[in-house]
C-alpha cells in the first residue's frame, strides 16, 4: 500500500465541512471516489423514477425515449461543472442557470425537488458504505450535505432541512410514502436500463440485464415492475465490487482529476457549450 494513499483523507479531516464543503466535495468526486460517485448517482437517478409523479413528468417529455444518452450526458455535465468549479464560479453559475431554465419549463412539486436533491447526498454515501475503497469520513458526509443544500437554495427549492440527519429522515420517509409501481415508472426505468446496456456490445445485453437489476434494491424493482435477480447473482456482484474496493487500496492516490467532464462525452464528441444543454425549445435539439 502506498504510504500517501490517504493523503487526501488527511487533508479533508483538517477542513471545515461547513466553510470548505466545495473543496471537500471537489476532492471526493474528482480524486477520491470518481467512479463510485458516478455509479451511485446513476442508481440514485433511477431511484427518483420510482416516484410516479416524477416518472410521469419525465415520461411526458419524451427525452428518455428520443435522446436518452444526451439527457444522461447533460445531467453528468451539470453535476461535473458545479462539482469541479463550484456552484458560485463562473462556469458553476452558468450550469446552475441552465439547469434552472430547463426546470422552469415544467411544473415540478417542491417535495419532489427536495427528494431528488436528497438522493444526490445520501445515495453516494450509502454506496460508499457498501463498496467504497475506504469509508467516507464525517467531514465528507457533511460536506456533501452542505454542498447540495447550497445548490438547492440556488435552485429555489423551499424548506430544505437544516441538518444532515433531518434531511436523511426526509429521504427515507418520502421513499416509504411514495415508492409504488406505475406504468410510467416502468417505461422510464426500461429506457434508462436500455441506455446502460447500450454502452456494451449488443450480444452482451441479455446477460447484463440481470446485473442492472442486481444493483437495485427490492423496493426499486417493485416500483419498476422488474424481475428480481437471484440471491446468488446479487451476492456475486456485491463481492466483485467489494474486491475492486480492496484492490484500490493498493493503488496510489490520483494526482489528476477524474471528473465526468474531463473525459470524452458521447453526445458531444466535439465539445459542449453549457447553454446548449437540455432539450431545445422546439424539442428538436
Is residue 172 a part of any domain in this protein? Answer: yes
Contacts of 253 (CB under 8 A, 6+ apart): 2, 4, 5, 6, 7, 8, 31
Is 270 part of any domain? no
**Domain annotation covers residue 259:** no
| Average pLDDT of span 275-280 | 88
- Mean pLDDT in residue range 17-23: 98
How many domains does the chain fold into?
A: 1
What ranges in 67-161 are assigned the alpha helix state H? 68-85, 90-103, 110-131, 138-154
Query: Shortest CA distance to 28 belongs to which of 138, 119, 113?
Result: 138
178 part of a folded domain: yes
Does residue 283 form part of some domain?
no
pTM: 0.94
No. of H helices and E strands in the chain?
A: 14, 0
pLDDT 10s digits, 143-182: 999 999 999 999 999 999 999 999 999 999 999 999 999 9
User: Which of 223, 257, 267 has its CA nearest to residue 67?
Assistant: 267
Q: What Å distances lie between residue 139 and 55, 173, 174, 257, 273, CA to CA? A: 33, 25, 25, 20, 33
Residue 2 maps to a domain? no
What is the average pLDDT score of the chain?
94
Quote the domain boundaries for residue 227: 17-250
Amino acid at each position: 500500500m502506498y504510504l500517501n494513499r490517504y493523503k487526501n483523507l488527511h487533508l479533508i479531516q483538517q477542513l471545515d465541512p461547513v466553510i470548505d464543503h466545495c473543496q471537500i466535495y471537489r476532492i471526493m468526486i474528482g480524486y477520491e471516489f470518481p467512479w463510485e460517485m458516478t455509479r451511485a448517482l446513476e442508481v440514485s437517478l433511477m431511484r427518483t423514477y420510482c416516484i410516479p409523479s416524477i416518472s410521469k413528468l419525465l415520461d411526458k417529455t419524451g427525452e428518455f425515449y428520443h435522446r436518452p444518452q444526451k439527457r444522461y450526458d447533460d445531467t453528468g455535465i451539470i453535476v461535473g461543472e458545479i462539482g469541479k468549479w463550484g456552484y458560485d464560479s463562473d462556469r458553476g453559475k452558468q450550469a446552475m442557470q441552465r439547469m434552472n431554465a430547463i426546470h422552469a419549463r415544467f411544473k415540478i412539486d417542491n417535495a419532489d425537488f427536495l427528494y431528488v436533491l436528497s438522493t444526490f447526498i445520501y445515495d453516494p454515501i450509502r454506496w460508499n458504505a457498501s463498496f467504497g475503497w475506504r469509508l467516507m469520513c464525517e467531514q465528507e458526509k457533511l460536506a456533501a450535505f452542505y454542498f447540495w443544500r447550497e445548490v438547492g437554495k440556488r435552485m429555489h427549492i423551499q424548506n430544505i432541512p437544516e441538518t444532515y440527519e433531518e434531511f436523511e429522515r426526509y429521504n427515507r420517509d418520502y421513499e416509504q410514502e411514495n415508492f409504488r409501481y406505475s406504468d410510467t415508472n416502468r417505461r422510464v426505468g426500461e429506457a434508462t436500463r436500455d441506455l446502460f446496456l447500450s454502452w456494451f456490445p449488443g450480444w452482451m445485453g441479455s446477460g447484463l440485464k440481470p446485473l442492472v437489476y442486481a444493483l437495485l434494491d427490492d423496493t426499486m424493482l417493485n416500483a419498476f415492475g422488474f424481475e428480481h435477480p437471484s440471491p446468488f447473482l446479487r451476492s456475486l456482484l456485491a463481492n466483485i465490487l467489494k474486491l475492486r474496493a480492496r484492490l484500490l487500496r493498493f493503488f496510489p492516490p490520483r494526482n489528476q482529476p477524474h471528473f465526468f467532464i474531463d473525459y470524452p462525452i458521447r453526445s458531444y464528441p466535439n465539445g459542449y457549450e453549457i447553454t446548449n444543454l437540455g432539450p431545445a425549445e422546439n424539442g428538436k435539439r
